[in-house]
Amino acid sequence: MAAVHGDAHDHGHDDHHPSGIMRWITTTNHKDIGTMYLWFSFTMFMVGGILAMGIRAELYQPGIQILEPELFNQFTTLHGLIMVFGAIMPAFVGFANWQVPMMIGAPDMAFARMNNWSFWLLPVAASLLVVSFFVPGGAAAGGWTFYPPLSVQGGLGVDMMIFAVHILGASSIMGSINIITTILNMRAPGMTLMKMPLFVWTWLITAYLLVLVMPVLAGVVTMLLTDRHFGTSFFNAAGGGDPVLFQHIFWFFGHPEVYIMILPAFGIVSEIIPTFSRKPLFGYSSMVYATASIAILSCFVWAHHMFTAGMPTVGQLFFMYATMLIAVPTGVKVFNWTATMWRGSMTFETPMLFSIGFIFLFVIGGLSGVICAIVPIDIQVQDTYYVIAHFHYVLVSGALFALFAGVYYWIPKWTGRMYNETLGKWHFWLSMFFFNLTFFVQHFLGLAGMPRRVPDYALQFADFNKISSLGAFGFGLTQLLFLYIVINCIRSGEKSTQMPWEGATTLEWTHLPAKAPYHSFETPPVVK
Amino acid sequence: MIIRKATANLTMLKKLLVFTVVMFAFGYALVPFYEKFCEVTGINNLLQPDVLVKEESWVDTDRWVTVELDANTTGLPWQFRPLQRSVRVNPGEPVDVMYEIVNNSDREINGQAIPSYSPRFLDKHLKKFECFCFTKQVLKPHETRQMPVQFVIEPNLPVDIHTVTISYTFFELPDGSSAIRDN
């Protein structure tokens, strides 16, 4: 007993760790792992971005110029998979790793070794996805939702994708178990659940959603695998299966998944807006309940992705109304953020700009979501660019903008240095301009009937597609500026202070020095 | 203190792992649940004989509907065709049509037919009393079999529908497996 005690004590004051590559391979430190998660997701963001550039280059004008249809479909499929599973989700886990222990006053994550393992699974899965482009038959090309029968018929690339999804799922489940345990068991004395920062709350709820639905995704891809190789017929009509069954199980995972990607974004924004409004968050407890309501409702709306797959009217009505109901807690959040800013002493540094941009554009994406929920309209816009525009408004200007906001907000604490504010503002305004240039016109394309996942299109869509492609190239280039800003900050940013933002109130600002030490909160702080 | 915390964390880990396994199983449980749900609600109920309720049956002699018959096979060496391309019927009138299958191979093969309809909602207005698709068909080498289908197109078929198609596709059943949804 005493030995264990002493050991833990020794570790506590030991800032030394292996250097070079072994530091990163063997690390169990939540900050190191958080950093790796963030760099990994940025790398995958670049890979997925290159695929997006390929898609937009092909769609720049009608006809087939750059990508043959088969390769184009591989690009759209892998763009979706890589952005969802490789970029957005790991980025939020990276934030959780860095911020959750610091914000609740814990020394590290609950299961430090498992934390290392859940990160190092990711590069394996990512390599599988990327390498699948070069195997015979190419990568999976049936869309990121990999519906059968295409996913049952595809080649080796589909098997690699299935295996990658298994690994990513395992990584996410381990990550969420770690986060739940850390939040529930390792909070500093006095930090009751209802005193937790909202970012921690949103991650707690997200982690529960992940352990709820990730195993179901693992199950459905396993069924796909046995259908492909072991003679089962879950989704094969010839053997008594049903391809529509796949869609039901997939979206039982898939809809909560979209909230998995947005709830932590809500959390980040809920930290930043009060800081730069210099007011406490308006309606804290209603924010917590709204987050929980969104999570619960998200499990009962999956079939709104399948209105055209064949469903009784009663079913369509149920899923339509249930979906619209989600607008209520989401509205609570938007009004709370607005009320937080109301009469605040606001300043507009880059994190705040991205957060306000987030609210503004996420509301547009939310609104087009409610429009898509209306059955008769959805039947018209199903699988058109309207849907593409909708989910890029919630995922790019929603999740991704919140991630940018979070990086700018916390990078002084992570590096002890300040980013270049002027360049940060340029990054925001260029992103804002090019994002809207890319995606706003896609609403019009969709309403005019342009289908998604097709490399060529009718001539009347040419102008809007050209605008959209130009916007996409601009948006892609702008993200290189972000890379420069981050590297510049780490290398030669001005030294930051403990409290670079005067309105910040959470533990990492109030209790830790300018650069968070390698081991923080060895002795838990007392929260009053 | 530290030890107590580590134990609490491990307990939590076990609970969450059990929960994960349960959810994995839940994914699989959705399969029978889905089939049962469709059966109870009558969605996708293509392979069960219907019962004709006498009081509701009447013949709409003012309307004519053309029923086109279609036959396909997938992956088995059978020849499969309807003996008549189409029939013209009054909604409500019972119809008998014949299909023929020929096993062109030198081995005994089990097959089952899966129906499909156009327009898709036809299954709500089509009552089948007899069909070869309800059961597994076993054909000896070079055997020929003629099989009847008995059905009624109900008079409540929307009035703008003048032509419907009933299509069957034969699939091979592996040896020893029973017919699909054979109950």
Do B4 and B71 lie in a common domain? Answer: no
- Decide if A41 is inside a domain: yes
Whole-number Cα distances in Å, A301 to A204, A328, A453, B4, B96: 21, 14, 24, 41, 44
Query: Cβ–Cβ of A211/B19 closer than 8 Å?
Result: yes
- Split at pLDDT 50, 70, 90, the class of A386 is very high
- Decide if B111 is inside a domain: yes
Query: Cβ–Cβ of B13/A181 closer than 8 Å?
Result: yes
Determine the structural domain holding residue B37 and report its residue range. Answer: 1-44
Which pLDDT tens digit goes with each residue over B81-135? 999 999 999 998 888 999 999 998 888 888 888 888 888 888 888 888 888 887 8
**Of the residues A196, A221, A252, which one is the last residue of a structural domain?**
A196
Do B78 and B5 lie in a common domain? Answer: no
Tell me how many domains chain B contains.
2
Whole-number Cα distances in Å, A525 to A11, A113, A344, A492, B92: 19, 24, 29, 32, 80
- Decide if B180 is inside a domain: no
Distance (Å, whole) CA B98 – CA B101: 10
* Nearest in space to A80 (alpha carbons), one of A34, A159, A139, A135: A139
Asked whether the beta carbons of A286 and A334 are under 8 A apart, the reply is no
- Decide if B179 is inside a domain: no
- pLDDT for res A13: 46
Tell me how many domains chain A contains.
2
Average pLDDT, chain A: 93
- pLDDT for res B45: 65
**Of the residues A158, A174, A196, which one is the last residue of a structural domain?**
A196
- Decide if A420 is inside a domain: yes
- A113 is an active site residue: no
- Decide if B49 is inside a domain: no
What is the pTM for the complete model shown?
0.87
- pLDDT for res B55: 57
Distance (Å, whole) CA A199 – CA B149: 63
Nearest to A310 among B19, B120, B174 (CB): B120
- Split at pLDDT 50, 70, 90, the class of A527 is confident
Do B35 and B62 lie in a common domain? Answer: no
Determine the structural domain holding residue A471 and report its residue range. Answer: 387-517
- A431 is an active site residue: no
Do B167 and B148 lie in a common domain? Answer: yes
Do B61 and B35 lie in a common domain? Answer: no
Q: Spot the catalytic one: A32, A58, A108, A159.
A: A108
- Decide if A213 is inside a domain: no
Do B58 and B38 lie in a common domain? Answer: no
- pLDDT for res A7: 39
- Decide if B183 is inside a domain: no
pLDDT at A335 over 80: yes
* Average pLDDT, integer, range A363-377: 96
Query: Cβ–Cβ of A4/B23 closer than 8 Å?
Result: no
Do B86 and B11 lie in a common domain? Answer: no
Smallest CA–CA distance, residue A24 to chain B, in Å, is 25
pLDDT at A10 over 50: no
Do B64 and B96 lie in a common domain? Answer: yes
Which pLDDT tens digit goes with each residue over A501-520? 999 999 999 999 999 999 99
- pLDDT for res B175: 64
pLDDT at A23 over 60: yes
- pLDDT for res A16: 67
Give buried/exposed letters for A181-214 (b at 16+ CB in 10 A, else e): bbbeebbbeebeeeebbbbbbbbbbbbbbbbbbb
Distance (Å, whole) CA A170 – CA A87: 16
* Nearest in space to A365 (alpha carbons), one of A388, A382, A383: A388
Residue with tokens 């391809």: A243
- Secondary structure percentages of chain A, helix, strand, coil, to 5: 75, 0, 25
Strand arrangement, sheet containing B144-153: B78-82, B94-103, B144-153, B126-130
Which pLDDT tens digit goes with each residue over A457-498? 999 999 999 999 999 999 999 999 999 999 999 999 999 999
pLDDT at A6 over 50: no
* Average pLDDT, integer, range A241-267: 95
- pLDDT for res B112: 85
More confident residue, B137 or A321: A321
Which pLDDT tens digit goes with each residue over B43-67? 766 666 776 665 567 788 888 999 9
Query: Cβ–Cβ of A219/B28 closer than 8 Å?
Result: yes
- pLDDT for res A3: 38
Strand arrangement, sheet containing B109-118: B86-89, B65-74, B163-172, B109-118, B137-139
B166: CATH: 2.60.370.10
pLDDT at B163 over 70: yes
- Decide if B150 is inside a domain: yes
Do B40 and B64 lie in a common domain? Answer: no
The percentage of residues in chain A with a pLDDT greater than 70, rounded to a whole number, is 97
- Chain B residues within 8 Å of chain A (Cβ atoms): 2-3, 5, 8-9, 12-13, 16-17, 19-21, 23-28, 30-31, 34, 41, 43-44, 74-75, 114, 120, 169, 171-172, 174, 180-181
Which tokens hold the place of A266? 């809500």
- pLDDT for res A203: 97
- Decide if B78 is inside a domain: yes
- pLDDT for res A8: 40
**Of the residues A196, A224, A249, which one is the last residue of a structural domain?**
A196
- Number of inter-chain CB pairs under 8 A, A vs B: 90
- Decide if A297 is inside a domain: no
- pLDDT for res A430: 98
- Decide if A429 is inside a domain: yes
For every residue of A261-304, DSSP letters joined together read HHHHHHHHHHHHHHHHHTSPPTTHHHHHHHHHHHHHHGGG-GGG
A179: CATH: 1.20.210.10
- Split at pLDDT 50, 70, 90, the class of A182 is very high
Which pLDDT tens digit goes with each residue over A188-238? 999 999 999 999 999 999 999 999 999 999 999 999 999 999 988 899 877
Distance (Å, whole) CA A336 – CA A291: 12
Which pLDDT tens digit goes with each residue over A403-431? 999 999 999 999 999 999 999 999 999 99
Question: Which segment of A43-57, A365-379, A514-528, B49-63 scores lowest on mean pLDDT?
Answer: B49-63
- Decide if B29 is inside a domain: yes
Do B92 and B17 lie in a common domain? Answer: no
More confident residue, B161 or A4: B161
Smallest CA–CA distance, residue B61 to chain A, in Å, is 30
